[in-house]
Structure 1
Amino acid sequence: MDVPYGNFEPNQADQLAALWAQRKRILLLTADIRDAKLRLSMLDPSEFWSSSAQRAYRERIAEIVNDVQGVLNHLITAQDQIWRNIRQLQAAGEE
């Protein structure tokens, strides 16, 4: 029987497969959120808007874009951690 992840014990292979799957899901989610952030950024109205409602709208869009960037930062941190976990597990399997 071929082991798709090298010379790992069964539990290590399962963990590695789960980490790769998790990494893929987070990468897809990150891409979706980046696309949403771009769409939100394009909603920013013209600087020529001058009514208080228009200014409030522009400010709220900027706040939401900032919040979305915070989510992206957390996802990037999660991606980095998953990658470190994958590399650590791979190194353990090479021993």
Structure 2
Amino acid sequence: MIPLPRAWLLTSALLVGTAVGLILGIASTLLVDTPIRPDVVIALVVGVPAGLGMLTILLSGRRWVTTVGAFLLAVAPGWFGVLVAIQAVHGA
């Protein structure tokens, strides 16, 4: 059984994770200048945080570990959203 933290704590972790994903997305676009294939970027941006988050949630034995997993899982949509918004603005 996955130990669930309190609802407010889980919601806070998801909100902060999305905000961190937004910041990571902006920072990565400012720091990385080399062209990278889009499929590799999507795999890294969505796959790595989502995989780590799901693995952390599934293997958690304590409530705080589930919260960390939810945080990691929420980083992916924020990061991906920034990259999509940047591509939409640039018209690519």
Greater C-alpha Rg: 1
- What TM-score, normalized by structure 1, do the two folds share? 0.40
* TM-score in terms of structure 2 length: 0.41
